[in-house]
Amino acid sequence: MKRRIATKTLKWAEPLPPLLPVRTVKQLLLCAILLVMPIRSPVLANRPRSFSSSSLADQPQVRTALDWFTKNLKWVDDEQVKLTEIPAPSFQEAKRAEAVRDILAAEGLAIHTDKIGNVIGELPGSDEEVVVLAAHLDTVFPAGTEIKVRREGGRLVAPGISDNGTGLAGLLAVARAIQTAKIKPRRTILFAANVGEEGEGNLRGMRALIDAYRTKLRAVIVLDGSGTDHVTTKALASRRLEVLITGPGGHSWSDFGMPNPINALVRASVRFINTKVPAAPRTTFNLGQIEGGTSVNSIPYEAKLKVDLRSENEDEIARLESSLRDCVAAGVKDEMDNARERNRGKLEWKINQIGSRPGGELPPDSPLLAALRSADEYVGNQSRVERSSTDANIPLSLGIEAIALGAGGSGGGAHSLQEWYEPAGRDMGLKRVLLTLLGAAGLAPEKGPS
Ligand SMILES: [Zn+2]
């Protein structure tokens, strides 16, 4: 941009005749006017990169939207409490989705609910491209968990209040601020409350959104939890596997010597936990859940193990998965080889994938990241780049620009019964989200007289 201005200055400054004061003044004036006019390159006009927050905030409508947050914090708190108190375990988000749908519909957005239960409110832009602002509906808490919100001092306390009550309330607040201010974006904005982010939901809601809009989609901003201290630009890859070993089973005394699935699983597990993983790229495994057997005096017919694998590099995950397969095969073979009565029954094994989150990274020169940085600067915030596992994994893995942000305020105890949220400072977080979103979507060009 700087170089363009310099070129333009020279072009207009050079032909100035030195000794004609009136013309000189006129030309100087023209020169000054040209210098302060925004320079429009046809390429940039057709392909909005990101828009700086300070130039956005110069627009009266954007200013109205920014002010809206400061004046309506109570409304945002109330919506957050209302939504948090509607149970929404993964795969059972429908009631909460309906409540979100009603609020978005009241803002005058075109609403639809897709096949798997994502609620999408559409604000049409002046061009074909699409930007998504998303917040997940689901929680990790099973049906029946006490989720009534308690107020303790300045805090709201309830399971799910921050993750993702804050994100959902932020989504609604940004939609309402934009609609109240009558902002018309250049790119279409989709306000999406999506299902299936947590656990075995396996990001299914975001996968469906990306499938549906992939060709036009230019950026995804995910609101997950609270805070303004971070921006997730790197997607942590993970894979979740279930090992299943089965056999005929029998009596602990009379059938002793038959191959035992739990023995085989233990032999396999001991081999696997000796697998070496690198410190960089950071790579982890966890034997998280183990079950099987029916009683202490029976040879079990089944043994199961759930394993979580994570890495900053997906090749390491593939390597760990193949190591797990080798270890299970070897553990089963050991057990068969050592079973005195191996002719009386054979062990079978298999490994099922029960979850997979692909990795990916936002390039450092990404326009979406530039929009976030500009918003941070405007609101006086500093944030660090983080690697994490969120709905942004899906777009990032496909090379679509995406970030995940907290929606302001502060919180703690995520995924625990003591989860809390404190709204102090929320308006700064919401302004940051709005400016980042508009930085990515742009404003529709004003219509001249036709
Ligand atoms: Zn979350």
pLDDT tens for 301-325 read 999 999 999 999 989 999 999 999 9
Does 38 score more than 80 pLDDT?
no
pLDDT of residue 54: 87
What value does the mean pLDDT take over residues 12-40? 44
Six-digit token string for 38:
């925004």
Contacts of 105 (CB under 8 A, 6+ apart): 111, 121
Element housing 435 (H / E): helix 426-441
Cα 216 to ligand 1 centre (Å)? 26
Report CA-CA distances (Å) from 444 to 13, 135, 186, 360, 439: 33, 25, 4, 31, 12
- Ligand 1 centroid–CA 222 distance in Å is 10
Spatial distance between the Cα atoms of 189 and 396, rounded to a whole number of angstroms:
19
Spatial strand order in the sheet of 237-246 = 283-292, 302-311, 237-246, 348-357
Supply the DSSP symbol for 89.
B
* Sheet with 420-422: strands ordered across: 150-152, 155-157, 420-422, 410-412
User: How far does the centroid of ligand 1 lie from the alpha carbon of residue 91, in Å?
Assistant: 15
- What is d(CA 62, CA 201) in angstroms, rounded to the nearest whole number? 36
Q: 359 to each of 277, 308, 396, how far by Cα in Å?
A: 18, 15, 7
116 CA → ligand 1 middle, Å: 18
CB 371 within 8 A of CB 442: no
Centre of ligand 1 to C-alpha 389, Å, is 9
* Residue 101 pLDDT exceeds 80: yes
CA–centroid distance, residue 231 to ligand 1 (Å): 14
Position 18 scores a pLDDT of 41
Range 121-126 average pLDDT = 97
Q: Give a three-class secondary structure readout of 232-245.
A: EEEECEEEEEEEEE
Mean pLDDT of 435-444: 97
Rg (CA), the chain: 28
Find the 214 Cα to ligand 1 centroid distance in Å: 23
Rounded Cα distance, 118 and 105, in Å: 14
Please name the residue that has the structure tokens 């502060």. 410
Q: Does residue 347 surpass a pLDDT of 80?
A: yes
Predicted model pTM: 0.80
Sign of the CA dihedral running 366, 214, 90, 349 = negative
Per residue in 220-264, pLDDT tens? 999 999 999 999 999 999 999 999 999 999 999 999 999 999 999
Task: Report how far Cα 326 is from the mean position of its chain's Cα atoms.
Answer: 34
Average pLDDT, the chain: 90
Q: What pLDDT does 448 receive? A: 57
Percent of the chain with pLDDT over 90: 83
DSSP E strand stretches across 12-57: none
Q: Answer whether residue 20 shows pLDDT above 50.
A: no
Beta-strand runs (E) in 137-260: 150-152, 155-157, 188-194, 217-223, 230-235, 237-246, 250-251
Higher-scoring residue by pLDDT: 378, 49: 378
CA distance 313 to 3: 39
- Quote the ligand 1 centre to 217 CA distance (angstroms): 22
d(CA 237, CA 235): 6
List CB contacts of 351: < 8 A, sequence separation 6 or more. 241, 242, 243, 244, 321, 324, 325, 328
For the segment 266-301, what is each residue's pLDDT rounded down to a tens digit? Answer: 999 999 999 999 999 999 999 999 999 999 999 999
Model pLDDT, residue 199: 82
Structure token digits, residue 376 = 């941070």
CA atoms of 2 and 180, how far apart (whole Å): 36
Which protein residues have their CB within 5 A of the ion that is ligand 1? Answer: 163-164, 224
Q: What angle do CA 402, 406, 411 make, to 5 degrees?
A: 155
Which of 183-192, 255-264, 335-344 has the least mean pLDDT? 335-344
pLDDT band of 342, cuts 50, 70, 90: confident
Q: Is 172 exposed, middle or buried (0-12, 13-18, 19+ CB in 10 A)?
A: buried
Q: Give the pLDDT mean for 419-439.
A: 97
Expressed in angstroms and rounded, the spacing between residue 80 Cα and the centre of ligand 1 is: 14
Please name the amino acid found at residue 100: V
- Predicted confidence (pLDDT) per residue in 64-80, tens digit: 999 999 999 999 999 99
Residue 378 clears pLDDT 50, i.e. is over it: yes
329-348: average pLDDT: 94
Half-sphere exposure (Cβ direction) of 428: Cα atoms closer than 13 Å: 17
State the pLDDT confidence band at 449, using cuts at 50, 70 and 90.
low
User: Is it the case that residue 219 has pLDDT exceeding 90?
Assistant: yes
Q: What is the pLDDT of residue 127?
A: 92
pLDDT in tens, 129-149: 999 999 999 999 999 999 999
Cα 98 to averaged position of ligand 1 atoms, centre (Å): 19
